Amino acid sequence: MPSNDFVRTVSRSFRVLVIGGSYGGLAAALALIDLSHARVPRFTYDPEAKPPTYRIPIQITVVDKRDGYFHLIGSPKALACEKFASKAWTRFQDIPGLKSPDLSFIQGSVSSVDFKAKVAHIVDSETKSSRTESYDYLIAGSGLRRTFPTVPQSLRREEFLKEAREHMSDVKNARDGVVVVGGGAVGVEMAAELKILNPQQKVTLIHSRKRLLSSEPLPDDFADRVGSILRETGVEVVLGQRVIETRAVNTENETRVWNLTLSDGRQITTGHVLNAVSQTIPTSTYLSQEALNKEGYIKIHPSLQFSGDIPNAEHHWAVGDLTAWEGIKRCGGAMHMGHYAAMNIHEHMLAECTGQKPNYQNLSPFPSVMGLALGKKAVSYTPDEGTREGEDLMKSLFGTDMGHTICWNYMRLGEAC
């Protein structure tokens, strides 16, 4: 990246605490390291962009409950394909782009934050012991709590690989097929992936509403195309029916099948049930209510600073799914937020050191866009292009690995920091 050889170093250093080591948190940390070294941040593609004229000594600490970066977009495939599972989870210590003297990791969770003292209380995942971490700036990017199989519940890579293998075995050996309950983004991708990887297995998707993706602000033709592609893939789609009872039945050879009762009285027997109706819960319990809206999302200004009535609000920032921000929550949006947060924190640091007025980048509301990987095809919607689908679109949006390489290269995780 372009750098500036005629730079000065400010006289003070800063401590930055990042809560969450996924797309938004890592993007913020990496862009901030670039800026502190007087480099144009890696997410800036403006050829006219000028690098900073000051170096700023910083120490960034990332706290995450997992021991590594997990490609959440690829979760439906990672839990269904052993080869991809191994690729989808990389320990932080094994990622070249995170090996920087300015960057360290704590595997744990934040239990509380003292805004006034600028101190976070952290519980270590392994020892369960508590510690405190002081900071000058805090970036909250811990996302939403989601249940299995929407995301794996393991906290370490080896445990995840075991979890994925058990899931694959349950699917492969299921008598009378597999039922996926829930026709949201995760459910439709999961159903398609299971059918592609297990073509001999019967896969049924049950959704309580008359339309797939019913909770998303997207047009009907997008949902209709998703349903058509699922059926082309071989998935049986049942719409407008709620599963009101799931009962386990042991058969004569000691295998277990499940009897599902639908709201119209229909009975479905299946060998395995996957609940993709994920109740997403903000992981903001470590923050005081003054920082949150009534649903538990962090209130922010367009600069990504906290907007709640808290002490030192200008030193607290939020990125990703945890923010109360308009638009569909996507990994691309989280990385974009991380980029903006890093630039604005850098501006705030310069203001504290030089007295210059910060020039913040303000975030715009995210448009209603979505791209889904459905087996061999992708389907997308943008306000400008409408609904599109096809195998070529799959390659451009997700590559050959559910977007893992695209995100990895965008954050430059394979390059020395």
Task: Sketch the domain layout of the chain as residue ranges.
Answer: 8-73+91-146+280-366+403-410, 157-279
Q: Read off the pLDDT of each residue in 237-245 and give the average, rounded to a whole number.
A: 95
Total Cβ atoms within 10 A of residue 355: 7
| pLDDT band, very low/low/confident/very high, at 335 (cuts 50, 70, 90) | very high
Q: Read off the pLDDT of each residue in 128-141 and give the average, rounded to a whole number.
A: 96
What is the percent of the chain where pLDDT is above 90?
82
pLDDT digits (tens, 9 = 90+) for 17-37: 999 999 999 999 999 999 999
Q: Read off the pLDDT of each residue in 6-11 and give the average, rounded to a whole number.
A: 85
Is the model's pLDDT at 356 over the cut of 90? Answer: no
| pLDDT band, very low/low/confident/very high, at 404 (cuts 50, 70, 90) | very high
Q: Do domains 8-73+91-146+280-366+403-410 and 157-279 have the same CATH topology?
A: yes
Is the model's pLDDT at 181 over the cut of 80? Answer: yes
| pLDDT band, very low/low/confident/very high, at 152 (cuts 50, 70, 90) | confident
The pLDDT assigned to 252 comes to: 64
The pLDDT assigned to 5 comes to: 56
| Ranges 97-106, 177-186, 246-255, 387-396: which has the least confidence | 246-255
In 243-392, DSSP assigns E strands to 243-250, 256-262, 267-270, 272-275, 281-282, 316-318, 370-374, 377-382, 386-390
H/E segment holding residue 408:
helix 404-410
Is the model's pLDDT at 136 over the cut of 80? Answer: yes
* φ, ψ at 262 (rounded to 5°): -95, 165
Total Cβ atoms within 10 A of residue 87: 17
Q: Is 416 exposed, middle or buried (0-12, 13-18, 19+ CB in 10 A)?
A: exposed
Q: Read off the pLDDT of each residue in 281-287 and give the average, rounded to a whole number.
A: 95
Q: Read off the pLDDT of each residue in 112-130 and give the average, rounded to a whole number.
A: 95
Q: Which residues contact 298 (CB under 8 A, 6 or more apart)?
A: 140, 282, 284, 287, 291, 292, 306, 308, 318, 322, 323, 324
pLDDT digits (tens, 9 = 90+) for 294-317: 999 999 999 999 998 999 999 999
Is the model's pLDDT at 3 over the cut of 70? Answer: no
pTM for this model (two decimals)? 0.93
CATH of the domain spanning 157-279: 3.50.50.60
| Ranges 9-18, 166-175, 291-300: which has the least confidence | 166-175
Is the model's pLDDT at 254 over the cut of 90? Answer: no
Q: CATH homologous superfamily of domain 8-73+91-146+280-366+403-410?
A: FAD/NAD(P)-binding domain (3.50.50.60)
Q: Are 270 and 251 in contact (CB under 8 A)?
A: no
The pLDDT assigned to 150 comes to: 78
| Ranges 47-51, 150-154, 219-223, 241-245: which has the least confidence | 150-154
Q: Read off the pLDDT of each residue in 179-193 and give the average, rounded to a whole number.
A: 94
The pLDDT assigned to 1 comes to: 45
| pLDDT band, very low/low/confident/very high, at 2 (cuts 50, 70, 90) | very low
Q: Are 85 and 160 in contact (CB under 8 A)?
A: yes
What is the percent of the chain where pLDDT is above 70?
97
Q: Are 314 and 348 in contact (CB under 8 A)?
A: yes
pLDDT digits (tens, 9 = 90+) for 361-391: 999 989 899 999 998 999 999 999 999 999 9
| Ranges 70-74, 146-150, 310-314, 330-334: which has the least confidence | 146-150
Q: Read off the pLDDT of each residue in 144-149 and give the average, rounded to a whole number.
A: 84
Q: Read off the pLDDT of each residue in 87-105 and give the average, rounded to a whole number.
A: 97
Q: Read off the pLDDT of each residue in 218-224 and give the average, rounded to a whole number.
A: 95
The pLDDT assigned to 100 comes to: 95
